Amino acid sequence: MPTRKASATWEGGFQAGSGSFKGESGAIDGAFTAGSRFSEEQGSNPEELLAAAHAACFSMAFSLQLDRAGHPPDRVHTDAACTIEKVGEGFEITTMKLTTRGKVPGIDAAEFQELANNAKEGCPVSKALSSVRIELDAALE
């Protein structure tokens, strides 16, 4: 199985400094600052990257669950919201909320929910974030 790589550089002190990141494929890159991470300044941040990774991974894992159950989806769309909070003297990623909607012919709502929960538990990014509360809101379209 492949190993994927990315890199990041931070220059300067925490408040006045800035950073950049890029993936080895060239498909992702961006800039970040303390302001883009902890307030509303423009720029990316690690939580946005985690949210994108989790949304992508979960959508694929859910599609796999649906396929295996005999219900190949027309579409699975997932939004992910990653929350960072001050905890004690530091910061922690405390919650990842996944909101997924699926257009899946021939499935009932109960089976859809069951397979969505299976995907949440089996998704490799969910497993990597095992110390984070992961909330799921799943509904058929």
Q: What is the pLDDT along the chain (141 residues), one digit of tens a residue?
A: 899 999 999 999 999 999 999 999 999 999 999 999 999 999 999 999 999 999 999 999 999 999 999 999 999 999 999 999 999 999 999 999 999 999 999 999 999 999 999 999 999 999 999 999 999 999 999
Do 61 and 17 lie in a common domain? no
Do 53 and 19 lie in a common domain? no
Alpha-carbon gap, residue 124 to 117, rounded angstroms = 13
How many domains are contained in the chain?
2
Domain that holds residue 113: 46-140
At CA 125, angle to CA 9 and CA 66, rounded to 5? 145
Alpha-carbon gap, residue 32 to 99, rounded angstroms = 25
